[in-house]
Amino acid sequence: MTTTAAAASARAITSHPTRSAAAASRSALKALILRDLVVLRKHFWEFLVRTLIQPFLLVFVFLYVFPKIGQGIGPAHSNSGPAAARAESAFATVLVPGVVAISIMFQGIQAVALQMATEFGYTREIEDRVQAPCPIWLVAVAKVLSGAVQGLLAAVIVFPIAAVVHASGDQAHLSVHWLIVVTLIPLACVAMTSLGLLLGTTFEPRNIGLMFGFVVLPLTFLGGTYYQWTKLAPVTVGGVHWLQILVLINPLIYVTEGMRAGLTHASHMHLYIIYPVLIGFCAVFLATGLRNFRRRVLI
């Protein structure tokens, strides 16, 4: 074989990537998210039932059943008449944004943490995911983003239900502030799915029940779902507003207060506090969750 022929043959078998690593990673990310959304579409009715059941029961019991049986929520001196109706409507106004917020949180935990528990558990499905042509951390980011989409759908589905289920005369007084809604809800969805990533990579699959007992329940009851943060000031010890301070470590309180700012005229925490703190929680949850995810995958 001549030198010219050998050089031509070497050029013929030399291969070059058809796209960059960044482009390949973007394609893999899109494929991972699309895969989760296709699974969601196939199991949409299951998603709908698990999304609606808790918020529906909350508003049904508190805003429909309680007023009907004379146990409406309100001040002790407002047992009947117009004063009671005003108190119950005020509670409805507070509860509806809280229900939307808690739906976002639960969806984030269910879509990411519970899925992680399954995939790191007996199915070991995560081993197939990490073989995608992208960095390991991108697999976790895809899970967070697909979970955020589910959280957004949950908010869109739950809000109309929470707004219309109530006894006669006990409706919530809602006023949608669209700039807050369209910016806060996506941020809240990513923050809660990042929390789901952190929980799903921290708790072992066999201990997932402990996660609900020691993390999810305290977050729920101290997250402002049923009350406003601004109304906690009277709870003091030695002049210190201890409960109002304590709940500030709860990420859900910022989501519920933000929802009240976006959906009502009720008093709420300042937005210049809500947005930066939620972004901070999101960054911490995501960074820690990604580190834990990489460690769990490489074990």
Q: For residue 232, what are its two tokens?
A: 């906690």
CA–CA separation, 102 and 68 (whole Å): 25
Long-range CB contact pairs, 204-213, < 8 A, 24+: 205/117, 205/118, 205/120, 205/121, 205/122, 208/113, 208/114, 208/117, 211/113
CA–CA separation, 107 and 49 (whole Å): 12
CA–CA separation, 233 and 152 (whole Å): 32
Return all residues near 52 (Cβ < 8 A) that are at least 6 apart: 157, 158, 161
Q: Is 243 helix (H, G, I), strand (E, B) or coil?
A: helix
CA–CA separation, 110 and 102 (whole Å): 12
- Given CA atoms 204, 113, 292, 20 in this order, what sign does their dihedral have? positive
CA angle 63, 171, 60 (to 5 degrees): 25
CA–CA separation, 78 and 205 (whole Å): 48
Q: Which of 126-130, 165-169, 203-207, 248-252 has the highest mean pLDDT?
A: 248-252
Q: For residue 222, what are its two tokens?
A: 């101290």
Residue with tokens 């589910």: 150
Q: What is the pLDDT of residue 53?
A: 83
Total residues found in the chain within this entry: 299
To the nearest 10 degrees (0 to 180), the angle between helices 81-108 and 178-202 is 50
Tell whether the model's pLDDT for residue 65 goes beyond 90.
Answer: no
CA–CA separation, 236 and 166 (whole Å): 33
Q: Which pTM does this prediction carry?
A: 0.84
Tell whether the model's pLDDT for residue 246 goes beyond 70.
Answer: yes
CA–CA separation, 200 and 289 (whole Å): 8
Q: Are 96 and 263 spatial neighbours (Cβ–Cβ below 8 Å)?
A: yes
Per residue in 15-61, pLDDT tens? 556 667 667 677 777 877 888 888 888 888 888 888 888 888 888 88
CA–CA separation, 112 and 293 (whole Å): 12
CA angle 212, 294, 186 (to 5 degrees): 60
- 79 C-beta neighbours (distance < 10 Å), count: 13
Tell whether the model's pLDDT for residue 217 goes beyond 50.
Answer: yes
CA–CA separation, 215 and 136 (whole Å): 27
Average pLDDT over residues 195-222: 87
How many percent of the chain have pLDDT more than 70?
80
The DSSP code sequence of 66-132 is HHHTT--SS-TT--SHHHHHHHHHHHHHHHHHHHHHHHHHHHHIIIIIIHHHHHTTTS-THHHHTTS
CA–CA separation, 26 and 9 (whole Å): 34
Q: For residue 193, what are its two tokens?
A: 């799915």
